[in-house]
Structure 1
């Protein structure tokens, strides 16, 4: 993934933050913009941490157990459930990199805005 795409996605993140700010802010000031940016950052953080957990194979054992259980309970003794890929094999590495970059840059921007707010 090249840097221009990362910049484009970061610009979309900022635009989403501005839209949330304009729609939901009771008054237009720096505090409410920081709050809107925090909501976007929190959503990005949750998505990134979920992808990281999924990529690490945490859900593979649970998925395997459920597939085996459903195969046994449905009297379907076909072994095709063993051939399905595990959740950790379905993670798109480029999407994870994009989400990771978005989360880190949004966190840095949030930190900078908080420093500006507390020192002005």
Structure 2
């Protein structure tokens, strides 16, 4: 089931890229396809890298520090100290979504590199 999702999302991406290229100027269709593929790949790569950094617990200390600072500065006499029990950003990541974005980013980057090699040869 997991593999089918990756294939379907990849095919949907290629279909969207083809539609955008189809409505573009037809002077150099292959180059336009590579250009649009680059933008799709860039979007997936940015999302993947952000999720990778978030999953690596980079922002957890920052968020915890701001929550503690807010508690200390605005002493609300909160006996429960809810700020300690709130989940950190790395605990809120959907791992299935992360895997889908990772696979799509790698696949689109590989396709882009292959098409660039074909274009420049």
After TM superposition, the structure 1 = structure 2 runs for residues 51-62 of structure 1, keeping only pairs within 5 Å, are 51-62=51-62
Partner of 1:68: 68
Partner of 1:111: 113
Which whole-Å deviations, capped at 9, do the CAs of 1:33-56 have from their partners, x for residues lacking one? 101100110110000000000000
Give every structure 1 segment of 4 or more consecutive aligned residues whose post-TM-superposition deviation is greater than 4 Å. Answer: none
Cα distance in structure 2, aligned partners of 1:20 and 1:73: 52
SS at match of 2:62: helix
Cα distance in structure 1, aligned partners of 2:16 and 2:6: 15
Given the superposition, is the C-alpha separation of residues 20 and 65 from structure 1 closer, same or farther in structure 2, using an over 3 Å criterion? Answer: farther
Partner of 2:33: 33
TM-score by length of 1: 0.88
The alignment's C-alpha RMSD in Å is 1.7
Structure number with higher relative contact order (C-alpha < 8 Å, ≥ 6 residues apart):
2
TM-score by length of 2: 0.87
Query: Residue 6 of structure 2 contacts residue 103 of structure 2 at CA under 8 Å; is this kept in 1?
Result: yes
Cα distance in structure 1, aligned partners of 2:58 and 2:46: 16
Which whole-Å deviations, capped at 9, do the CAs of 1:2-53 have from their partners, x for residues lacking one? 2111101111221232344345x44451111101100110110000000000
Cα distance in structure 2, aligned partners of 1:13 and 1:76: 50
Gaps of 5+ in 2: none
- Equivalenced residues, count: 118
Gaps of 5+ in 1: none
